[in-house]
Structure 1
Amino acid sequence: MTDADPTAQPVRILTICTGNICRSPAAERLLRTHLDGVEVTSAGTGALVGEPIHPPMAALMTRAGIDADGFTARALASEHVRDADLVLALTVSHRSQAVVAWPGALRRTFTLRELARLAEHVGSDVLGEGTTADRLRALVPLAIRARGVVRVPPEDDDVVDPYRRPDAVYTQAYATIEDAVRRLAAVVTP
């Protein structure tokens, strides 16, 4: 991670999707809810800058008890990637775009589903004692090493884009994000 005493700082997580009005804000708010010791922001590679969370996604979040208010979409900038301790993309393409924006982020950039899967492979026992933030910091290099061991088709790492699609697709996208966040939290939460 980046600061002199990283354990004294929260883990800075950036979530990335296309418009920054559906998937990445849902991931942002779910990660904030399920992980202690993190600061989570989001951005879009083709952001609808200034827009709130899209109403169908906001409704799903609200129904699940996740705050969807006060959100404003923003465009992905290289400094967002540079300043994040962990970058979680919602598709393989978004992951690639993050690394293009800041190549130094390669070893801390995953798709959300990929990191959840790798976290389960690594397991909670090897993350040591400490806070959720400490354990999340410990997970990142272990997950990088596990990348070559746990192989799946790249499409298994993507969360479907629900924008302007039927409500069932929003439900599917939200459920996929929530599942990945819960799986990750189960491993890194002491």
Structure 2
Amino acid sequence: MFDSVLMVCAGNICRSPTAEYLLKNKLSGKNVAVSSAGLTALEGKAADALAQELAKEQGIDMSEHQGRQLTGTLVAQNSLILVMEQRHLTDLCSRYPQARGKTFLLGKWIGDKEIPDPYRQSREAFEHVYELIDSACGAWQQYL
């Protein structure tokens, strides 16, 4: 099985940290490391305030998050990589061919849904994305 999961989006301040913290919460008690990174990360930046607010409403604290750039080392260190969009999958596997075979859409088990970027959008957009991420993490949970 998988002992480490890396969540990847673009900036690593909205979707991938939300997915990281939600999956960590769902896997509490299991020996699976969950982290996140971005293809074009806003390094050192906190998670988006609205993403943090929605998580906090569900009892999840994302205040420790700091954006970080995806690297070859991170790709090598993780047994499963989950991305938000098909273009992330294409870009990641193009940059890091060793990621092929262990990189999938986060939405794979919910009809191969892509998770749209809510950055600089309304609370409703963030809520929709949060629900998609929550469903997708729940679907992956049985495989971890």
TM-score norm. by structure 2 comes to: 0.91
- Amino acid corresponding to residue 18 of structure 1 in structure 2: A
List structure 1 runs of 4+ shifted beyond 4 angstroms: none
Q: Contact 1:159–1:177 at 8 Å: present in 2 too?
A: yes
Q: Could you tell me which residue of structure 1 aligns to residue 137 of structure 2?
A: 181
User: Residue 97 in 1 paired to residue 52 in 2?
Assistant: no
Output the CA distance in 2 between the equivalents of 1:176 and 1:157. Answer: 8
Is 1:12 the counterpart of 2:16? The answer is: no
* Number of equivalenced pairs: 142
How many Å separate the matches in 1 of 2:103 and 2:34? 14
Pick from 55, 62, 69 the counterpart of residue 75 of structure 1.
69
Deviation of 1:184 (Å): 2.0
Q: Which has the larger radius of gyration?
A: 1
Instruction: For 1:115-130, list aligned pairs within 5 A.
Output: 116-117=109-110
1:95 CA displacement: 1.4
Output the CA distance in 1 between the equivalents of 2:96 and 2:40.
Answer: 17
Q: What CA distance in whole angstroms lies between the structure 2 residues aligned with 1:98 and 1:74?
A: 15
Rounded Cα–Cα distance in structure 1 between residues aligned with 2:36 and 2:85? 14
User: What stretches of structure 2 of length at least 5 have no aligned partner?
Assistant: none
CA positional deviation for 1:58: 0.3
Partner of 2:113: 157
Query: 2:25 and 2:37 mapped to 1: Cα distance?
Result: 18
Residue pair 1:82, 1:102 contacting (<8 A) in 2 also:
no
Query: Could you tell me which amino acid in structure 1 is paired with residue 120 of structure 2?
Result: R
Higher relative contact order (CA 8 A, sep 6+): 2
Q: Name the CA distance, whole Å, in 2 between partners of 1:100 and 1:160.
A: 21
Paired AA for residue 17 in structure 2: P
TM-score, L = length of structure 1 = 0.70
Report the AA paired with residue 34 of structure 2: V
- The 5 Å alignment of 1:11-160 reads 11-35=3-27, 36-114=30-108, 116-117=109-110, 156-160=112-116
Aligned sequence identity (%): 32
| Secondary structure at the counterpart of residue 183 of structure 1 | helix
Deviation for aligned residue 1:67: 1.6
Give the superposition deviation at 1:76. Answer: 1.2
CA distance in 2, matches of 1:101, 1:30: 27
Structure 1 SS opposite 2:81: strand
Distance in 2 of aligned mates of 1:158 and 1:44? 16
> Counterpart of 1:138?
none
Name the structure with the higher helix share. 1
Cα offsets for 1:70-99 (capped at 9, x unmatched): 110011112211221000001111112221
Q: Is this contact kept in 2: 1:14–1:42, CA < 8 A?
A: yes
